[in-house]
Amino acid sequence: MKTYRGSCHCGAVRFEADIDVGAGTIRCNCSISSKLRLWSAVVQLPSFRLLAGEVEMTNYTFNTRTDQHPFCKHCGVHAFGAGKSPRWGNFFAVNVACLDDISIDELVAAPISYLDGRDDNWHMPPAETRHL
């Protein structure tokens, strides 16, 4: 477990998160993860701490509106999302690409789990993952 600092592109949104990157990261084939090419690490409170930018974000929700997809209203970057699921409870999905002090070696070594969010089948990875 390591504490990372993260931010959006312009720096208006800043956070820190305690993440064990070696425990795994996720890529999902759901509509928003696909369009944003999200690569996330899931953490729960108190491992996610928003340091700045609450009022600099616009929130986006869709479908059941249980998951929150806030993004910076200045630069458009989605630094994290939040939701609730049977598997993770109340969780934050930290955008690994927004971690400012993670090393390339840590990124390369991070295991990836693939989720079949498109088919709402959270128990098995999708048949095809190479494009994610």
| Residue 12 in contact with Zn ion, rule: CB under 5 A | yes
Residues 115 and 93: their CA atoms lie apart, in Å, by 13
Q: Which is nearer to Zn ion, 92 or 116 (CB)?
A: 92
Residues 106 and 3: their CA atoms lie apart, in Å, by 13
Give the nearest distance from C-beta 81 to Zn ion in angstroms: 15
Phi–psi pair at 35, nearest 5 degrees: -70, -30
Residues 84 and 124: their CA atoms lie apart, in Å, by 19
| Residue 73 in contact with Zn ion, rule: CB under 5 A | no
For the four alpha carbons of 49, 55, 60 and 66, in that order, the dihedral sign comes to positive
Looking at 8-16, 62-70, 86-94, 114-122, which segment touches Zn ion (CB under 5 A)? 8-16
Give the nearest distance from C-beta 52 to Zn ion in angstroms: 10
For β-strands 57-58 and 2-7, DSSP reports them as unpaired
Give the nearest distance from C-beta 64 to Zn ion in angstroms: 27
Residue nearest to Zn ion (CB): 72
Give the nearest distance from C-beta 13 to Zn ion in angstroms: 5
Chain contacts with Zn ion (rule: CB under 5 A): 8, 10, 12, 72, 74-75
